[in-house]
Amino acid sequence: MGSRVPHIVVIGGGVIGTSIAWHLAKKAARVTLIESNDLASGSSGACDGLVFMQSKKPGIHLRLAMESLKRFSDLKKELPMDIEFRQAGGRVVIQTPAEYQAMEQFVQAQQEIGLDVCLMDAKDTLAAEPFLSPDIYGSTWSPLDAQVNPIKLTLGFALGARKNHACIMTRSPVLGIHTKNNRVTGVVTTKGEMAADMVVNAAGARSGLIAQMVGIDLPVRPRRGQLVVTQATSRMIFSCMISAGYIAAKFDPSLADDAGEGMSMEQTDNGNLLLGSTREFEGFCTQNTLSGIRRIISRTTAILPALTRLQVIRTFAGLRPFTPDGLPILGPVASMDGFFMAAGHEGDGIALSPITGELVADMILGQKSAIPLTPFSLERFTTPKGQAHG
């Protein structure tokens, strides 16, 4: 390589890839971002915008999320697009006494590490959110939780990266990755070949397909999440919400089959309500299903009955990059020099994108990073003490 500035190729024009490209470009690295379709055309354009802290287990996951949150307010100023970041707090809605008990413990653990979260009874909850059903049992509330427009965030990162001289290639599917002596040397796309000193796999739910090009098996599986969009309307909820069941589903996939899928709700700046979500293993299929739409609507209307007088204007589905332990895969891989992972955030890609971009950029450029990346290495799935969680 000599004294030449190394060329870094980031694969994936979603929120993770664009964040990495932006962070790298800001530090004057030579970056090319490659996207097979349009920017934000995968999961980052088909998800909700929740930036939730209290849904994370205390430990490395929450720490990552908290560091990410801190960076959002700066992004709001730095990115050349209004990312519609709004820190209006978030609520975990509790519908049964059993959930209330479970959440009591969860909140206690969070409070012990200093997270600003509290448990509220039904009366206080309804005082804050008057449109919620009087049948709810209570909620947990954190002023830290926020929401953002995921598409605008992705496009903002990309525009910011380009402003800092990153090259962005859309509509350029990657066909292969060249290697020599166990080291990446180039990337082949439908638009031709380019030399690469380093390749970052930020292809989200499709990151497994990219890794296969260099002979690496990833434990990342696409997990479909369907969402329902209502018409724009006057303010119906004042903060974003998830159900206690949603948290359960996040930590125990076996619960996801039925009620464990939970629900999420947010009202965008535009006034539309985004209702979610399903969690289904259906391969790469992004079709909606009547049963999926029905589940979402029956769960959300049970909590927010006023929804029933609204109209559905569209539904969509995105593929969340699921990993077995719920944590992303970040950093170098032992078997291939110059190949880096930045994928597997499942439903947290939007919330974790600012910190992911920063950490991966720092690591690639050999700079000191805010959080060590070792707990997120791919090798955690192959070593005996693989459970990095917690």
Cβ atoms of residues 275 and 228 within 8 Å: yes
Q: Which of 7, 61, 91, 162 binds other proteins (CB under 8 A)?
A: 162
Assess 288 for contact with other proteins (CB under 8 A). Answer: yes
Cβ atoms of residues 297 and 308 within 8 Å: no
Assess 289 for contact with other proteins (CB under 8 A). Answer: yes
- Give the number of other CB atoms < 10 A from CB of residue 209: 14
Assess 123 for contact with other proteins (CB under 8 A). Answer: no
Residue 162's Cβ-side half-sphere holds a number of Cα atoms within 13 Å equal to 13
Assess 267 for contact with other proteins (CB under 8 A). Answer: no
**CB nearer other proteins, residue 274 or residue 373:** 274
**Window of 130-138, 182-190, 225-233, 322-330 that interacts with other proteins by CB under 8 A:** 225-233
**CB nearer other proteins, residue 41 or residue 369:** 41
Distance CA 143, CA 131 (A): 19
**CB nearer other proteins, residue 40 or residue 255:** 40
CA distance between the termini of the chain: 40
**Window of 101-109, 124-132, 198-206, 306-314 that interacts with other proteins by CB under 8 A:** 306-314
Q: Which of 87, 164, 170, 185 binds other proteins (CB under 8 A)?
A: 170
Assess 40 for contact with other proteins (CB under 8 A). Answer: yes
Assess 133 for contact with other proteins (CB under 8 A). Answer: no
Burial class (CB in 10 A: 0-12, 13-18, 19+), 34: buried
Cis before residue 298, ω within 30 degrees of 0? no
Assess 179 for contact with other proteins (CB under 8 A). Answer: no
Cβ atoms of residues 319 and 223 within 8 Å: yes
Instruction: Decide the pairing of beta strands 272-276 and 264-267.
Output: antiparallel
Assess 259 for contact with other proteins (CB under 8 A). Answer: no
Smallest distance from other proteins to CB 283, Å: 12
Distance CA 380, CA 386 (A): 4
Assess 165 for contact with other proteins (CB under 8 A). Answer: no
Assess 254 for contact with other proteins (CB under 8 A). Answer: no
SS3 376: helix
H/E segment holding residue 290: helix 290-303
Assess 297 for contact with other proteins (CB under 8 A). Answer: yes
Instruction: Decide the pairing of beta strands 240-243 and 90-94.
Output: parallel
The alpha carbons of the chain give a radius of gyration, in whole angstroms, of 21
Cβ atoms of residues 110 and 58 within 8 Å: yes
Size of the site for other proteins (CB under 8 A): 38
Assess 311 for contact with other proteins (CB under 8 A). Answer: yes
**Window of 20-28, 297-305, 322-330, 345-353 that interacts with other proteins by CB under 8 A:** 297-305
Smallest distance from other proteins to CB 253, Å: 25
Smallest distance from other proteins to CB 231, Å: 6
**CB nearer other proteins, residue 6 or residue 271:** 271
Assess 236 for contact with other proteins (CB under 8 A). Answer: no
Q: Which of 230, 239, 267, 356 binds other proteins (CB under 8 A)?
A: 230
Distance CA 257, CA 254 (A): 7
**CB nearer other proteins, residue 70 or residue 163:** 163
